[in-house]
A and B are shown apart, each in its own frame.
Chain A
Amino acid sequence: MAHGFDAWALSLVVFTPIIGLALVLVLPRDDEGTIKLVTLVTTLVTFAFTVLVVVRFNYDKTDKLQFEVKKSWIDVIHSNYHIGVDGIALPMLALSSFITLLCVIYSWNHFPEPHNPKAFLALILLLEVGMNGTFVAQDLILFFIFFEIVLLPMYFMIGVWGGPNREYASIKFFLFTLFGSALMLLSFLAIYFKVDVPGVAGGHTFDIPLLVAAGKGGMTHGVQLLIFGGMFLGFAIKVPMFPFHTWLPDAHTEAPTVGSVLLAAILLKLGTYGFIRIAMPILPEAARSWAPWIGLLAVIGIIYGALGCLAQTDMKRLIAFSSIAHMGFVMLGIASMTTFGLNAAIFGMVAHGLITGMLFFVAGSVQHTFHTREMSRLGGLLQQAPHMGWILSFCAMASLGLPGLAGFWGEFPAILSAFNPLSTIHQTPLFRGYMVVAAVGTVLAAGYLLWMLQKVAFGAPKPEFADAHIHDVGVAEWIAWTPLLLGIVALGVYPNIVFRVTDGAVTSLTKVFGG
């Protein structure tokens, strides 16, 4: 257990936004300047705490939970307030508080209709609590709570500030996710009752590390498969994996820019993180049986997402479909159940967060300036707004996995990992087939991204916008975007920034999988 500042560090990271939220709620709605300032300071302070955690983290023991706190919470159901980070959680936590800060900066003068910064920023702060909390929770019930907290703010964000079809998109997002998490909760309960954990009160626990250590605890293989199935639904809907992805294009298309960014960069990762943190370590046997199917859905997602992209006319919808494909790569890495694959998956999560987040920012700014995202109406962005055009091109390159940029290190090793999946899955030839399909997916990715680039950035401006005065990248945008762009380059050039953190934790994790 941690002492002094370390004992408080993670709680501060998670709950500082609550303080900001309370302040924002009591401020009058018209006092927009103060509201923005309070939110900015809150997210800055939260990020500063995260940086402190990153600095004080012991990189020689990434497989151990650090900054760990375990306090009694709901005794009646034997659930504890147990939080901590290891090498798997740390990059996600950092990503989460980093992206939220940038979103607040970007929002400074980009409030979508019906404006109301007070409500908008309050929702962002509430979202941050849920996101940060999910990545540090070490207790199934605590995880569930944080996992669910993000639902309502995102629902409101899409529903109030979204596009024309926002009501449909928001309720679809909500019901899909809620359905998944209801089954997930049932699975958590089943684990609680089925796994015997020696040395705890009552013989049962929701504590994740204890459950991982306890192993299968007398469950038959069939029961394990069922329980894993429940969790699979919960997490796969969030990721989203094919065929549970249909909420995503709608949600992304209708959501306001910042909503899309948070959704793509962090919310989707709650699903993949759930697989790595909970489903697979607690039920490794079932995971091995499920892995070929997860791999199958992952590669279907890669191809389906790519083909879906090619059929889009809306720039934002295209990026949304590309998310499905990219998360397919992440899931393929996870399905391989190897150290190599999981490292790639976590890297892919971070990279996708930076790159796709950035792409959604640009799409938002394009919409802000041109009031359309129809690619047939756009063109010549490089001429009219050269900075924005170059940034879009840069992100497209990163997204298609150009070596030297962050996207490469998520995608390429994930594909490679399918060549040698965990031997005890006994499906190596099948996975090699997946590898080939996934490799085809990268070609398609290059296809749709360049196609989008050609439509939006190249050529001459369309007549309807030819004489329009187009604003290029503004100050708030530069401040919000520069760190992202630098991050994409830094991770691309020196991927060890992430691999060094994750490797130890992942290595110790894969020992549980059995090989």
Chain B
Amino acid sequence: MILGVAASLVAHNPRIDWFGIAPEGTLVATAVAVLLLDLVMPRRDSWQTSRLASVGVLVSLGFVVALYERHGGTTPMFGGAYVVDNYAIALKGFFLVVAYVTILLAVDYIGEGDYYQGEFYFLLLTSVLGMTVMTSARDLITIFVALETISIPTYVLAGYRKHDRRSNEAALKYYLIGAISSAFMLYGMSLIYGVTNSTLLSDISDKVGQTGHGKVLAVAIFLSLIGFAFKVSAVPFHWWAPDTYEGAPTPVTAFLSVASKAGGFVAMLNIIFFGFSNRSNVWWVVAWLLAILSMTLGNLTALRQTNIVRMLAYSSIAQGGFMLVPFAAYGIARDHGHLSVAQTSFQAVVIYLLIYGAMNLGAFGCVIAVARRTRSADIEGYGGLFTTSPALTVCLSMFLASLTGIPPLAGWFAKFVMFRSAIDAGGWAGTSLAIVAGVNSVIAAYYYLNVVRTMWFKAPATEAGPVQVPSALGFSIALCTVLVLAIGVYPQLVGHIGDLAAKAASVATGS
């Protein structure tokens, strides 16, 4: 990322909006400071690094808020490769909040285990840096560099329980998949560059709209989509996810399933909406298939899980399928010349990401809390949790109900905007997508409620006492609960953000 920026500096001699990249700058500074602090601190005080990391994230978040307050327009930098518009600002804020919550989830987990703490937060911050860059990336190279900045630290994080063979497996699988997907993606991107002679998405969008090079472009788009499908673990490129999720330390799993998945989706949003819009006839079928397969297979496999982390892994595959629905909807509609769907579907993806983040992080927070007592993630171990820890049970039930999409919890609105894009697209393709999504949300209810049922209806194990929730973890769970409730009752909170994002997108997609 640093190199990329430096290279662009030399090439274009641009005017840099330093304020515009202040959030990223803060993250870089914090990451370095965390590493240095860990070096000088005695080992027993190294938990202090978590404090520094969270302060850094909050300062960065402050800059994001200031950026939002500053203006409503867009600020292209580096010849249009890097744009700080409202859409980017909103998602930067999202990623920073996710990072903050992840740190809260991890503090006690990492502090109590025998882990290197400074390095953990350094890697986490670096990955988040990649995400914030990704939101602004409007250029193939920048997107690729951001994606690698997101991914490489997480390969290490997945293997952070280095004495656990499953964690090793998790890291290795994740790494190999990352390498394969990058290869696919780069091959596709190089073909695109070959045809369009540019890496800038806006140029690509224009060139792609002209006739010619049909087959090469089709192959190129197809290959890059497969690369992204690996990243967001869409079926049939998903099989690494459950093993990786199960093996990785649970806070890392939470981070992977929310932040890094969202990173992949943001990259897809940028490339598809800002780059490939004019060739929707090529990719809508791919997106349609990926969405239907991910929703259906993800859900059906989740039904059979007995381990809650694996269950949440498959559920996140299915949720990813729901998030792919608006992409397909956009493609379908664009193919028919129904341009306004661009806004509804862009909005839908952004809103879905925000809400999914809050509810999935909350669910993982509760899982981490319960695992402190049971030392396992078996769903059976949740029996009678309502009797021993009613507050935690109510929170986890709320997150699971929200993932199901039951009002008045935030998940309903995510599902709603997703449905809306599909119905808006219309035709047999849009309608079938909506119906498959509808049936799938009922299937999903079964396994989410299975956990709820175990917690509420089963008798507790005899020796079970209440779950002790440390304050940082408790705070993060409470924060997610408040978000899930507030957004669910007054969805305009995220609707407003989605609106801003869609307006930014409508300029770029010409609709």
Q: Is A148 an interface residue (CB 8 A)?
A: yes
Q: Is A460 an interface residue (CB 8 A)?
A: no
* Chain A interface residue bracket vs B: 20 to 34
Listed A/B pairs (26) with beta-carbon separation below 8 Å: A74-B413, A74-B490, A76-B496, A76-B498, A76-B499, A77-B420, A145-B408, A148-B406, A152-B401, A159-B453, A167-B453, A167-B457, A171-B453, A175-B445, A178-B404, A178-B441, A178-B445, A179-B439, A182-B438, A182-B441, A185-B438, A186-B419, A189-B434, A190-B423, A192-B423, A193-B426
Closest to B444 in A: A178
Q: Which of B326-366 contact A (CB under 8 A)?
A: 347
Does B401 lie within 8 Å of A145, measured CB to CB?
A: no
Does B426 lie within 8 Å of A156, measured CB to CB?
A: no
| Interface mask (A193-220 → B, CB under 8 Å = 1, otherwise 0) | 1000000000000000000000000000
Q: Is B416 an interface residue (CB 8 A)?
A: yes
Contact of A144 among B347, B386, B407, B423 (CB under 8 A): B407
Q: A76-B499, A77-B495 are in contact. Are A182 and B439 (CB under 8 A)?
A: yes
Q: Is B511 an interface residue (CB 8 A)?
A: no
Q: A76-B492, A174-B445 are in contact. Are A185 and B424 (CB under 8 A)?
A: no
Q: Is A166 an interface residue (CB 8 A)?
A: yes
Instruction: Kindly provide the distance from the CB of B320 to the nearest chain A CB, expressed in whole angstroms.
Output: 19
Does A183 lie within 8 Å of B401, measured CB to CB?
A: no
A101→B434 CA distance, assembly (Å)? 40
Q: Return the 4 tightest CB-CB contacts between A and B, nearest first.
A: A76-B495, A182-B438, A145-B407, A189-B423
Q: Is B417 an interface residue (CB 8 A)?
A: yes
Contact of A76 among B347, B412, B423, B449 (CB under 8 A): B347
Contact of A74 among B406, B423, B495 (CB under 8 A): B495
Number of A-B residue pairs, CB cutoff 8 Å, is 91
Q: Is B87 an interface residue (CB 8 A)?
A: no
| Interface mask (A167-182 → B, CB under 8 Å = 1, otherwise 0) | 1001100110011001
Does A75 lie within 8 Å of B495, measured CB to CB?
A: yes
Q: Is A38 an interface residue (CB 8 A)?
A: no
Q: Is A307 an interface residue (CB 8 A)?
A: no
| Interface mask (B393-413 → A, CB under 8 Å = 1, otherwise 0) | 000000001001011100011
Does B445 lie within 8 Å of A193, measured CB to CB?
A: no
Q: Which of B16-39 contact A (CB under 8 A)?
A: none
Q: Is A149 an interface residue (CB 8 A)?
A: yes
Q: Which of A151, A152, A179 has the most CB of B within 10 A?
A: A152
Known: A76-B498, A145-B407, A152-B401. 20 other contacts (CB 8 A): A75-B492, A76-B499, A77-B417, A119-B390, A144-B407, A145-B408, A148-B406, A151-B406, A159-B457, A166-B457, A171-B446, A174-B445, A174-B449, A175-B442, A175-B446, A178-B406, A178-B441, A178-B445, A179-B442, A193-B424
Q: Which of A144, A178, A192 has the most CB of B within 10 A?
A: A178
Number of B residues with CB within 8 Å of any CB on chain A = 36
Closest to A81 in B: B490
Q: Is B456 an interface residue (CB 8 A)?
A: yes
Contact of A185 among B386, B416, B491, B498 (CB under 8 A): B416
A183→B436 CA distance, assembly (Å)? 10
Q: Which of B446, B456, B457 has the most CB of A within 10 A?
A: B457
Please give, as numbers and ranges, the residues of chain B lying within 8 Å of A189 by CB-CB distance. Answer: 419-420, 423-424, 434
Q: Is A293 an interface residue (CB 8 A)?
A: no
Q: Is A282 an interface residue (CB 8 A)?
A: no
Q: Is A465 an interface residue (CB 8 A)?
A: no
Instruction: Kindly provide the distance from the CB of A234 to the nearest chain B CB, expressed in whole angstroms.
Output: 11
Does B406 lie within 8 Å of A152, measured CB to CB?
A: yes
Does A73 lie within 8 Å of B457, measured CB to CB?
A: no
Q: Is B66 an interface residue (CB 8 A)?
A: no
Dominant SS among interface residues on chain A: helix
Q: Is A94 an interface residue (CB 8 A)?
A: no
Q: A77-B416, A182-B441 are in contact. Are A160 and B423 (CB under 8 A)?
A: no
Please give, as numbers and ranges, the residues of chain B lying within 8 Å of A178 by CB-CB distance. Answer: 404, 406, 441-442, 445
A227→B434 CA distance, assembly (Å)? 13
Please give, as numbers and ranges, the residues of chain B lying within 8 Å of A175 by CB-CB distance. Answer: 442, 445-446
B residues lining the A interface (CB < 8 Å):
347, 386, 390, 401, 404, 406-408, 412-413, 416-417, 419-420, 423-424, 426, 434-435, 438-439, 441-442, 445-446, 449, 453, 456-457, 490-492, 495-496, 498-499
Please give, as numbers and ranges, the residues of chain A lying within 8 Å of B498 by CB-CB distance. Answer: 76
Instruction: Kindly provide the distance from the CB of B457 to the nearest chain A CB, expressed in whole angstroms.
Output: 5
Instruction: Kindly provide the distance from the CB of A509 to the nearest chain B CB, expressed in whole angstroms.
Output: 27
Contact of A149 among B404, B407, B491 (CB under 8 A): B407
Please give, as numbers and ranges, the residues of chain A lying within 8 Å of B423 by CB-CB distance. Answer: 186, 189-190, 192-193
Please give, as numbers and ranges, the residues of chain A lying within 8 Å of B441 by CB-CB distance. Answer: 178, 182
A481→B230 CA distance, assembly (Å)? 62
A160→B419 CA distance, assembly (Å)? 33
Please give, as numbers and ranges, the residues of chain A lying within 8 Å of B499 by CB-CB distance. Answer: 75-76
Q: Which of A171, A185, A192, A193 has the most CB of B within 10 A?
A: A185
Closest to B401 in A: A152
Closest to A176 in B: B442
Please give, as numbers and ranges, the residues of chain A lying within 8 Å of B439 by CB-CB distance. Answer: 179, 182
Please give, as numbers and ranges, the residues of chain A lying within 8 Å of B496 by CB-CB distance. Answer: 75-76
Please give, as numbers and ranges, the residues of chain B lying within 8 Å of A166 by CB-CB distance. Answer: 457
Instruction: Kindly provide the distance from the CB of B496 to the nearest chain A CB, expressed in whole angstroms.
Output: 7
Please give, as numbers and ranges, the residues of chain B lying within 8 Å of A29 by CB-CB distance. Answer: 390
Please give, as numbers and ranges, the residues of chain B lying within 8 Å of A144 by CB-CB distance. Answer: 407
Does A185 lie within 8 Å of B446, measured CB to CB?
A: no
Closest to A159 in B: B457
Q: Which of A141-156 contact B (CB under 8 A)?
A: 141, 144-145, 148-149, 151-152, 155-156
Contact of B491 among A74, A160, A170 (CB under 8 A): A74
Instruction: Kindly provide the distance from the CB of A232 to the nearest chain B CB, expressed in whole angstroms.
Output: 15
A186→B413 CA distance, assembly (Å)? 13
A29→B390 CA distance, assembly (Å)? 10
Does B419 lie within 8 Å of A185, measured CB to CB?
A: yes
Q: Which of A297-353 contact B (CB under 8 A)?
A: none
A144→B441 CA distance, assembly (Å)? 16
Does A186 lie within 8 Å of B435, measured CB to CB?
A: yes
| Interface mask (A388-422 → B, CB under 8 Å = 1, otherwise 0) | 00000000000000000000000000000000000
Instruction: Kindly provide the distance from the CB of B374 to the nearest chain A CB, expressed in whole angstroms.
Output: 22
Please give, as numbers and ranges, the residues of chain B lying within 8 Å of A159 by CB-CB distance. Answer: 453, 456-457
Does A145 lie within 8 Å of B412, measured CB to CB?
A: yes
A178→B405 CA distance, assembly (Å)? 10
Does B492 lie within 8 Å of A182, measured CB to CB?
A: no
A350→B496 CA distance, assembly (Å)? 42
Closest to B425 in A: A193
Does B438 lie within 8 Å of A186, measured CB to CB?
A: yes
Instruction: Kindly provide the distance from the CB of B122 to the nearest chain A CB, expressed in whole angstroms.
Output: 38
A393→B439 CA distance, assembly (Å)? 45
Closest to B347 in A: A76
Please give, as numbers and ranges, the residues of chain B lying within 8 Å of A151 by CB-CB distance. Answer: 406
Please give, as numbers and ranges, the residues of chain A lying within 8 Å of B406 by CB-CB distance. Answer: 148, 151-152, 178
Does A148 lie within 8 Å of B426, measured CB to CB?
A: no
A77→B421 CA distance, assembly (Å)? 11
Instruction: Kindly provide the distance from the CB of A31 to the nearest chain B CB, expressed in whole angstroms.
Output: 15
A7→B423 CA distance, assembly (Å)? 35
Does B490 lie within 8 Å of A73, measured CB to CB?
A: yes
Instruction: Kindly provide the distance from the CB of B50 to the nearest chain A CB, expressed in whole angstroms.
Output: 32
Q: Which of A123-165 contact B (CB under 8 A)?
A: 141, 144-145, 148-149, 151-152, 155-156, 159-160
Instruction: Kindly provide the distance from the CB of A206 to the nearest chain B CB, expressed in whole angstroms.
Output: 11
| Interface mask (A460-493 → B, CB under 8 Å = 1, otherwise 0) | 0000000000000000000000000000000000
Does A186 lie within 8 Å of B401, measured CB to CB?
A: no
A167→B416 CA distance, assembly (Å)? 29
Please give, as numbers and ranges, the residues of chain B lying within 8 Å of A75 by CB-CB distance. Answer: 492, 495-496, 499
A148→B442 CA distance, assembly (Å)? 13
Please give, as numbers and ranges, the residues of chain B lying within 8 Å of A174 by CB-CB distance. Answer: 445, 449
Closest to A160 in B: B456
Q: Which of A75, A76, A145, A159 has the most CB of B within 10 A?
A: A76
Instruction: Kindly provide the distance from the CB of B303 to the nearest chain A CB, expressed in whole angstroms.
Output: 12
A169→B168 CA distance, assembly (Å)? 43
Closest to B494 in A: A76
